[in-house]
Homo-oligomer: A and B are copies of this chain.
Amino acid sequence: MAQPKIYPSNDSSPASDFGLSPTEFTTLRTSATQAKALAYCPYSRFRVGATFLTSSSDFIEGANVENASYPVGTCAERVALAKAVVEGHTEGFRAVGVSTDISPPASPCGMCRQFMREFVPLECPIFMFDKDGNYVVLKLEQLLPMSFGPDQLPQPGEAGAQGAGL
């Protein structure tokens, strides 16, 4: 995959291709950027902010929450999305914004891409903002091609996907 194009922070045209108004794009960027201030990251010192734009046009924010046992901590994207889910937003997400303090922009880790896969449409744009608000945008299906999803698991009572003797 070629290195994705980095758009300047004030260019909202890619967002409009995904159905976001310029105001929605600006709010998404501002929200994800400000959400970094909510991070608890004494171990990595790597702040991440994330915002999910719901089907009802709410902006729901999160930040990374780390733990002394590193694997027990969680990422900004999962905090924000879990919050959205328990507030009733389980489908139809319109956009995701992720912001860090580096440049070029960081992408969501694979675990967060998988967590999104359960709820976020494959065509949903993920805007990845760098320290200055410049950004890369890719669809979820571009960040997690050939993804593993709910339809691949056996149904209750179904034997098809289990081995003999299980």
Which residues of A line the B interface, CB within 8 A? 1, 4, 35-47, 61-63, 65-75, 78-79, 81-83, 85-88, 90, 100-102, 106-115, 117-118, 136, 138, 141-150, 152-154, 156-157, 160-163, 166
Contact = CB atoms under 8 A, between A and B. Distances in A.
Given A110-B112, A144-B110, A102 B152 contact: yes
Nearest to A126: B146
**How many subunits of this chain does the assembly comprise?**
4
A85 B66 CA distance: 11
Contacts of A147: 107, 110
B111 A1 contact: no
Given A61-B86, A65-B86, A153 B72 contact: no
**Can you list the 10 inter-chain pairs with the closest CB atoms, starting with the nearest?**
A110-B114, A69-B109, A110-B110, A45-B162, A70-B70, A111-B111, A110-B113, A38-B86, A68-B150, A1-B145
